[in-house]
Amino acid sequence: MTSISDFHIMKGGGRTAAMPVIRHIGLRDLKESLAQGIDDFWAMPSQLVFIGLLYPIVGIILGVATSDKNVLQLLYPLLSGFALVGPILAIGLYEMSRRREAGLDTSWGHAFEIFHSPSLPAILAIGFMLLALFVGWLMTAEALYEELFGPKAPANYMHFIRGIFASEQGRALMIQGNLIGAVFAIVAFSISVISLPLLLDRDVGAGVAIKTSVMAVAKNPVIMAIWGLIVALMLALGMAILFFGLAIAMPVLAHATWHLYRHVIEPIPFDQCNPHRAA
């Protein structure tokens, strides 16, 4: 039997459960969102770099973890799949942009105000969905590798690289793996790009938030595809600089995502937003 708490997670508090109004957006909205995200980063650099350092640290841990020969084949899936869970890790930065926009104090401790949000259970529910997608991607990547190369792990990095670039199986792995990974990325992007900022702003529940996010992507497919490519490119560049570029790329993207949400979703009266908005 469905409990009251389960119902609230999916449906929200009831005051703002109506479907949000989704706007059509254009390239100008993307440009403005990025500019606003960069402006937020420069306006709040200390706390953003502080939190942003979590990303290169996690990236380095992933790299070290796969240095063992038994899991070399999972290095690329781990790094590329990191973007699947990135939105939930960035939610504290969404909160910082929300506070700055509302004229509230933006000292770094307020990034943890999300723990006082009535939408926290719904946010966690979406976080578990993204984590499940991440695990599903890793399992799929491992299964594809074993199908093409067999169960034996590569002996070392050079052996692995030669196997990828100098064999038919390697080329098949790159093509098929990237296509499958793109499907996982599109699903994660579609359910999270608008839903998580929306849940910070309104107590609508995970169901309405996910539906709104998917509908926003469907209503603006080209623009959202461009935004997804921008995100992927910035993350790739951040990882290319020994992961430390993520300390800039992730905060900028997080703040820009909050402002993109503002461009996509029609605002509602102040008193209909989440109670913690006035905190």
The residues with which 265 forms a beta bridge, in sequence order, are 22
Mean of pLDDT values over 116-131: 90
Mean of pLDDT values over 11-37: 83
pLDDT-derived band at 7, boundaries 50, 70, 90:
very low
Question: 185 and 83 in contact (C-beta within 8 Å)?
Answer: yes
CA angle (246 as vertex; 105, 88 as ends), nearest 5: 60
CA distances from 111 to 15, 115, 174, 259 (A): 25, 9, 38, 16
In the three-class reduction of DSSP (H, G, I as helix; E, B as strand; rest coil), residue 150 is classed as coil
Which residue is it, tokens 């946010």?
Answer: 123
Query: Does residue 43 register a pLDDT over 70?
Result: yes
Helices (H), the chain: 4-11, 27-43, 45-52, 54-65, 75-89, 91-101, 120-149, 157-165, 168-192, 195-201, 205-219, 221-240, 246-264
Give dist(CA 216, CA 190) in Å, integer.
8
Mean of pLDDT values over 195-210: 92
Higher-confidence position of 134 and 16: 134
Query: Does residue 258 register a pLDDT over 70?
Result: yes
Mean of pLDDT values over 98-109: 83
Question: 86 and 54 in contact (C-beta within 8 Å)?
Answer: no
Mean of pLDDT values over 38-66: 68
pLDDT-wise least confident of 50-59, 180-189, 212-221 = 50-59
Q: What is the pLDDT of residues 205-247, one digit of tens each?
A: 899 999 999 999 999 999 999 999 999 899 888 877 766 777 7
Give dist(CA 180, CA 137) in Å, integer.
8
Q: What residues does each domain of the chain span?
A: 31-267
| Crossing angle (nearest 10°) for helices 54-65 and 45-52 | 10
Cα within 13 Å of Cα(29), Cβ side: 19
Give the CA diameter of the chain.
61
